[in-house]
Each structure stands twice: as structure tokens, then as C-alpha cells.
Amino acid sequence: MMRIPRNVTLVCLFVTMVVACQAQFQAESGVLDARALDFAQNKLALRGYWTFYDQELLTPPVLQHGGVNEYFPQTWNERRKDGSGIGFGTYALRVLVAGGMDSLALEIPQLYNCYSLWINGELVASAGKVGTSKKATMPYWTHQVATFSLREKDTLDIVLQIANFHHHKGGAKDLIYMATPQRTAAHFNLATTTNIIAIIVLLLEGIFFLIIFIVKRKSAALCFALLCITWSVRALFSNLYLVVGFFPDISWNLLVRVEYMSLYFAMIWSNMLLYFLFKNVGSSLVMAYTLIAINMLFVVFTLFAPPLIFTKWISLYLGVAAITVLYGAVMVVRALFFEHAGAWFLMASILIGVIMFGYDIVAYQLTFSYNFVFLNIGYTVMFVLVMMALLFHLNILKSNHADTLLTYDDLFRKG
């Protein structure tokens, strides 16, 4: 009999314990029993089977019968046979907690596309305007924290109304978390701070390489500058939606168009950068121009089509983005055949980019929450590594080792 290594057994045991712990705190039939959870040390994901009232907007008190058991979070597109995300509905959940606490807080992500949330009959959070028709509904995206008083109660009756008539997706994709106000604020502030740092770093890199382009007239410098600036805009208009904090009255139509178009433009600059960097290792001008043309078509489509239409095709576009990622990965593998030590510096940045963008795509397609800190740090590291590689490529930084200089001369064709 084959003997299982001890470390493998320990890993399996650990994974089993984690899964069991998560399953312990999962709602069943509209009730989530979290009395055994220590909120001082943990946060509670409001996952599981809520009571759902489809095509009904109910206000507290909501009786937890008459509806259906519906897993949360889940987009309406996933639960409906026709794949439609249009409509409205009410979710109800009773959460049982240990008594003696004064207050708790919710971290609420972007929901599709507006919502109102009550706890024990008190409206504690909302975004946009919930209604039963497109005219009566106002979409609004924001990632927010809502603190509420427990008054030493041990039962929380949560009522969540969601409506969508403007976007392809409806319902909820990301988890809502409950924790102490201190823990919730600390997590939200960390995610916000790393997001702001990423935006500042990207803007500074973009401005720096615009200056380099003006001085040296190198195409790679211009492409990277535009990529940095575009991605900084995307970081402001997506995920945490920090732009809403600066401009609360910003049009949702403008926000969603900028979010989508910034992705397409980022892919355009990425394809151009890949071409100029990897001319010597078989980068295809036809491939680059083809991908650029496809992205430009999506830009024009997003600019003129209503959000309900252009958001429907993002899944198709993610296939195009995956081709770009694969294209970059192929260029990485080809470049590695040069076997020069200096090449690994840039290779690391591209591999990180493949990982980060792959995570971004999977997180969007599947129902699990983004780790915003991971995303912000990962993308920042990736762009810094590319910046350093380009500084060597443009001979602004010089290595003390001749073989490293030869690496960049061999790997890149100045353009």
C-alpha cells in the first residue's frame, strides 16, 4: 500500500477544517446561525440560502415563508433559464449572533444595480433607487461600509431589495461581510489605501514615461505611458469605485462606460507594447493589429450602445482578452529561449501580469469576491517591474554586468 506523506495529510486536514468551518456558518432556509462566531476575531460572510421573493419589493417586516430558498450571492442570470438579469426582488435573512454586542458593520460590494438594505426594520444602506420599472429605477455602483446598532439584540432580520433594468447582470455577485465596526473599517481602509497608492504610482509612471518619450522618441515608452495612465483611470472607475467617493453625483452611464472602455484601451496599449518589446523574438505585427482592431470595435460599440446591450458582450470580450494574455505568454516563452539572466527581470513582470489579469477574469466570471488588496499590490508590482525593465531597455539605467546589457540589447529592438 502506498504511504501518504505526512505533510500531504496535514494539508488535507487543514483544508478539511477550513471547509468545515465555512460550511458551519452558511445560511439554510433563510436562517444563518452565527452564535458560535467570535466577531472580535473573525468576519462573517452572509452566504448561503436566503429567502427570495422574485419580482416583489417587500419592506420590513418580511415573513420568511412564501418565498423560495435562493443561494446568495448569485446573479439572476445564473438562476433563470433565459439568462436574463432584468427585474427586481427581495432577499430576507435572519442572522443569529451572540448577545452583548453594541454594534456591527456590513461591508457591501457593488450589487447589480441598485439596492436598499434594512436590519431590524431600520434602513442602514442603499445605492441608487430601487423600483419596478426602468423609469422608476436609478442604478448606482459603490462599495460601502454600513454600521448599525445592535442594542444588545441577538437576532438580526435583514431585508435586501435589489432591482436592475440597465445592466446585463442582475442580482448579486460578491459576498456581503459582517464584522465589528473596527475590523470592517480596517479592511476597507486597507483596500482603499492600496488602491489609491496604485493609482498614484501608475500616474507617476505614466507621466515619467511621457517625458521619456518626448526626449527619446521611443515607441515603447509612449505605449507604456498610455498603459499606465489608462490603468490608473480603470483603478479609479472599477472594483472599489473610488471615483464615486470624490464625485457622488457622477452619472452611472458615464462610470460604466469608462470602466469598460478603459479595459479595451489598456489591451490596445498592451498589444502595442508587446509588439515593440518582442520584435526580435517573433512578435507578429498582424496579430498585434488584429487585436487592436477588435478592441477598437469594442470601444466604439461601448461608446454608442446602451449599457444593457454592451455589457451583454463582456463575456465574449474576455475571450479576446484571454488571447492577448496568451499572446504575451507565448512571447515570454520565446524570450526565455535567449537564456540571458537579464531577461528574467521583464519576464517576471509579464508573468505577474498574466496571473493578475487571469485572476481578474476568473473573479468576474465566477461568483466569488475580489481580494482588492491582492489586486492592488499585484498590479502595482507588475507595473513597477515593467518600468524598471524599460529603463534598462532605454539605457536610462545601466547594469554593471556586461552580460546583462547584452541581454537587453539582444532581447529588444530599439523602436
SS3 149: strand
Angle, CA 185 vertex, CA 49 and CA 170 arms, to 5°:
40
408, 397 contact by CB (below 8 A): no
Q: What is the DSSP string of 340-368?
A: -TTHHHHHHHHHHHHHHHHHHHHHHHTTS
Cell 439572476 locates to 76
Helix 252-277 to helix 219-236 angle (10° resolution) is: 150
- The rounded distance, in Å, linking the Cα atoms of 384 and 391 is 11
At residue 65, the pLDDT reads 67
CA distance 256 to 251: 9
Joined together, the cell numbers standing for residue 86 give 432584468
Strand partners for 103: 149
* DSSP 8-state code for residue 68: E
**Contact, 101 vs 170, CB < 8 A?**
no
Sequence-separated (6 or more) residues with CB below 8 Å from residue 244: 140, 141, 142, 250, 255
Residues paired with 93 in a beta bridge? 158
Looking at residue 283, what is its pLDDT?
61
Closest CA to 138 of 106, 116, 105, 168: 116
8 A C-beta contact, residue 103 and residue 116? no
Amino acid at 88: F
pLDDT in tens, the chain (415 residues): 344 444 444 434 433 334 334 446 899 999 999 999 999 889 999 999 999 999 999 988 877 667 899 999 999 998 888 889 999 999 999 999 998 888 999 999 999 999 999 999 999 999 999 999 999 999 999 999 999 998 778 899 999 999 999 999 999 999 999 999 999 999 999 999 999 999 999 999 999 999 999 998 889 899 999 999 999 999 999 989 999 999 999 999 999 999 999 999 999 998 888 888 777 655 667 888 888 999 999 999 999 999 999 999 887 887 777 777 777 767 766 666 654 434 566 667 767 776 776 676 666 655 556 678 888 888 888 888 888 878 877 777 765 544 433 344 444 444 4
CATH 2.60.120.260 for the 28-179 domain, yes or no: yes
Residues facing residue 70 across a β-bridge: 50
Nearest 10 degrees: Cα torsion 13, 18, 24, 29? -120
Dist CA 254 CA 262 (whole Å): 12
pLDDT of res. 13: 42
**Alpha-carbon gap, residue 389 to 278, rounded angstroms:** 13
Amino acid at 261: M
**231 in helix, strand or coil?**
helix
So what's the pLDDT on residue 175? Answer: 92
Domain coordinates in residue numbering, the chain: 28-179, 184-411
Q: How many whole angstroms separate alpha carbon 309 and alpha carbon 85? A: 12
Burial of 276 (0-12, 13-18, 19+ CB in 10 A): buried
- The three three-digit cell numbers of residue 330, written as one number: 507565448
The CATH number fitting domain 184-411, selected from 1.10.238, 1.10.150, 1.10.3470, 1.20.1070: 1.20.1070
Q: How far apart are CA 205 and CA 209, in angstroms?
A: 6
C-alpha cell at 233: 483611470
Question: For residue 322, how many other CB atoms are within 10 A of its CB?
Answer: 13
Q: Quick one: pLDDT at residue 286? A: 80
